[in-house]
Structure 1
Amino acid sequence: MSSIPAFKTVFAVPLHCDGCVDSVKKALSEVQGINNVNCHLADQLVEVEGTAAPSAISATLRRIGKDGILRGTGEANSAAVCILETHAPNAKNPVRGLARLVQVGPRFTIIDLSLKGLSAGAYEATIRQAGDISRGAASTGGVWEDDGTDSKQTPRGRLGQVTVDQTGSGSVLLDNPIDIWELIGRSMVVSPETKDFKQDDENTLVGVIARSAGVWENDKVVCSCSGKTVWEERVEQAGRGML
């Protein structure tokens, strides 16, 4: 993996007192790759700077009993997200993965990929030519920028591998010489295979890459539509299989 420049992420975290702030700072200070943590008690937001994966930060907050919800990462127009689902018929909880993408330098994007509910083994993460997921991975086209020749340079659409363990979970932090704007509207596929997809395969995941909020572009903790806090909405999302 290339050397990743430091970047900022903002999480909505239920902070009730100075004790909450101290516990969050202490826990995050022990995470490798975090350079600085700022807690905003009044706004219930935590700002983190460093090279740690957003998924690692969320996991650390959960370990101390805090639900951290990513509200923004990187600068304006430099972040994206992809919800990965299986298109297998009758699959329970079709959402099986989440990719957070953030551009941290010129033509340098990191991909924080988290998976669950899959069979153990090695999976390939790829960017596809099209954003058509109407037939699952089968309608996404070939791997982006892969013309099928034996080039010595790896096509940028081949992001890398992630290993899923015996619990069905896996995570990896990848990087690639890509600008975020090149990916918006394309699809991502995570599967043991990169072609000849079968729609009834529960281990083949697909999703469309969409633009996400940059730091401080989305700092609300209460939805103006439902009146629910982001943590109440998280409970509903978890019930639908969201990571």
Structure 2
Amino acid sequence: MIPPFQTTFAVPLSCEDCIKDVSTSLYTIAGINKVDADLKKQLISVEGTAAPSAIVAAIQATGRDAILRGSGRSESAAVCILETHSTSVKDHVRGLIRMVQVSPSMTIIDLSIRGLAPGTYYATVRERGDISEGPESTGGIWEAAKAKKEGTPARGIFGTVEVGKSGIGTVFLDKPIQIWEMIGRSIIVARQQDGKFDKNDPDTLVGVIARSAGVWDNDKTVCSCSGKTVWEERKEHVDRGML
């Protein structure tokens, strides 16, 4: 059973009615225990076991946008932006994986992909974080050799996600992994679990796992490197195909 965890989202809020509208929508999701709002800071804090992607969808259903600002405690969250290396695709970003460690022996994985051909896709953590040659430079499945020797499933095998006719697929998983073990490694999402990958396949995605902000750790509204607000950054990412 997944322990409750906390996530925070930047949401355009103009009054108490906005908060009520968003909260009502969120409480329709199974696994939501508590919703708090900060009107001045334009933040919504959610506690429970619901997937962050489901929370974003519920907020967007009210006509407002939402940006995940943090998950879990400090040093307990990670993110992986999934891209195709195919030269035939204009928007290379096709997915996002959010990871939150909710206990010493459990990390939850919220995977969302879009723009792919319908079918079953495999998500695996790889030994290396080198994506210079796409999936081919990431190495084998993380701890596959050790698992084979011990006769146990490799921890680098996350599982599968189904993509429907809309080209969209989402899955919410939990694994006995700690965040620090995965930082700097990479993740492949493809129609095969292992073997020789084709980096020119538009439906083969790869990304590096990086640390993400914990709850309340990221309160910036303007990026110091670009000078853009989080909403300007959000629009750019949406235009690029990022979820």
Superposition TM-score tier, normalisation by shorter sequence: over 0.9
Equivalent residue number for residue 27 of structure 1: 25
Equivalent residue number for residue 94 of structure 1: 92
Quick one: distance in 2 between partners of 1:155 and 1:106? 19
Structure 2 residue identity aligned to 1:163: E
Q: Which runs of 5+ in 2 are unaligned?
A: none
Equivalent residue number for residue 167 of structure 2: 168
Aligned residues: 241
TM-score (norm 2): 0.96
Moved over 6 A (4+): none
Greater displacement, 165-174 / 216-225: 216-225
Quick one: distance in 1 between partners of 2:4 and 2:59? 20
Kindly indicate whether the alpha-carbon contact (under 8 Å) linking 2:163 and 2:169 is maintained by their aligned counterparts in 1.
yes
Equivalent residue number for residue 133 of structure 2: 135
SS of the residue corresponding to residue 158 of structure 2 reads strand
Q: Aligned pair in 2 of structure 1 residues 14, 103: CA closer, same or farther (>3 Å)? A: same
Quick one: distance in 1 between partners of 2:228 and 2:149? 53
Quick one: distance in 2 between partners of 1:23 and 1:227? 31
Equivalent residue number for residue 73 of structure 2: 75
Q: Which runs of 5+ in 1 are unaligned?
A: none
Quick one: distance in 2 between partners of 1:224 and 1:21? 29
Equivalent residue number for residue 156 of structure 1: 155
Equivalent residue number for residue 241 of structure 2: 241
Query: Given the alignment of the two structures, is residue 209 of structure 1 paired with residue 209 of structure 2, yes or no?
Result: yes
Structure 2 residue identity aligned to 1:191: A
SS of the residue corresponding to residue 72 of structure 1 reads strand
SS of the residue corresponding to residue 13 of structure 2 reads coil
Structure 2 residue identity aligned to 1:181: W
Q: For each residue in 1:140-185, what CA deviation from the matched residue of structure 2 results, as whole angstroms up to 9, or x when unmatched? A: 0000000173754211000011000011100000111111000000
Quick one: distance in 2 between partners of 1:197 and 1:30? 41
Which of residues 43, 59, 64 in structure 1 aligns to 2:41? 43
SS of the residue corresponding to residue 134 of structure 1 reads coil
Kindly state the Cα deviation for residue 216 of structure 1 after the two structures are TM-superposed.
0.2
Kindly indicate whether the alpha-carbon contact (under 8 Å) linking 2:88 and 2:202 is maintained by their aligned counterparts in 1.
no
Greater displacement, 222-231 / 178-187: 222-231
Kindly indicate whether the alpha-carbon contact (under 8 Å) linking 2:136 and 2:197 is maintained by their aligned counterparts in 1.
yes
Which of residues 12, 16, 24 in structure 2 aligns to 1:18? 16
Q: How does 1:157-196 map to 2 (within 5 A)?
A: 157-193=156-192, 194-196=194-196
Structure 2 residue identity aligned to 1:154: P
Kindly indicate whether the alpha-carbon contact (under 8 Å) linking 1:12 and 1:219 is maintained by their aligned counterparts in 2.
no
Quick one: distance in 1 between partners of 2:241 and 2:141? 27
Kindly indicate whether the alpha-carbon contact (under 8 Å) linking 1:125 and 1:190 is maintained by their aligned counterparts in 2.
yes
Equivalent residue number for residue 219 of structure 1: 219
Kindly indicate whether the alpha-carbon contact (under 8 Å) linking 1:67 and 1:231 is maintained by their aligned counterparts in 2.
no
TM-score (norm 1): 0.96
Quick one: distance in 2 between partners of 1:173 and 1:188? 16
Kindly indicate whether the alpha-carbon contact (under 8 Å) linking 2:82 and 2:93 is maintained by their aligned counterparts in 1.
yes
Name whichever structure is richer in helix by fraction: 2
Kindly indicate whether the alpha-carbon contact (under 8 Å) linking 1:131 and 1:185 is maintained by their aligned counterparts in 2.
yes
Structure 2 residue identity aligned to 1:85: E
Kindly state the Cα deviation for residue 226 of structure 1 after the two structures are TM-superposed.
4.6
Quick one: distance in 1 between partners of 2:27 and 2:240? 32
Structure 2 residue identity aligned to 1:232: E
Q: For each residue in 1:22-52, what CA deviation from the matched residue of structure 2 results, as whole angstroms up to 9, or x when unmatched? A: 1011111111111000010011000000000
